[in-house]
Amino acid sequence: MQKICPSCREINPAEAAFCRSCATPLGAVAPQAPQWGQPQQAAPQWGQQQPGFGNQPFGGPMQAPMSAPVQESNRPVIALVLVIAGLLCCGFLTSIPGAILGWMEINAIKEGRAPQTGMTMSQIAFYGGIVVSILNLIGSVIAVLVLLSGNM
């Protein structure tokens, strides 16, 4: 049994707790039939507007939902700082988290949850984190080989 939102008249799945369109709570209580003595709403006459038939109110289910403004994010800067710290001194401890944070920010930008202005910095952090991690891996392997060859 589907649930109909009392606010916007959107049809929702039976297990939904909130409306998919306007987030109005969908209570488990079904609308009650009018009791004897209560005024009933008259059926619309010819030419009058009927709810749900092409005359949805502003922001109803027939219109695209309005999204909240995207706020500035400082994650691209943090990702780039982590990658640079990985290159200079910290190695894997910061280059891998920097690459992951850059990748997460790129996905957030593509999904519209973060501003486009951070895309270039996020891409630099992502690819830079991968490169710095590979360089740290090569340096670690070379250091182990030098240590092993010196003891023989």
Q: Please determine, for residue 114, whether its predicted confidence score (pLDDT) is greater than 80.
A: yes
CA atoms within 13 A on the CB side of 85: 15
Residue 116: DSSP 8-state:
G
Q: pLDDT averaged over the chain?
A: 78
Tens of pLDDT, residue by residue over 81-113, are: 999 999 898 888 999 999 999 999 999 888 888
Q: Please determine, for residue 60, whether its predicted confidence score (pLDDT) is greater than 80.
A: no
Lowest mean pLDDT among 26-30, 46-50, 72-76, 119-123: 46-50
**133, 106, 128, 134: which is closest to 119 by C-alpha?**
106
The CA distance from 134 to 53, in Å, is 61
Which has more confidence, 43 or 116? 116
The pTM of the full predicted model, rounded to 2 decimals, is 0.52
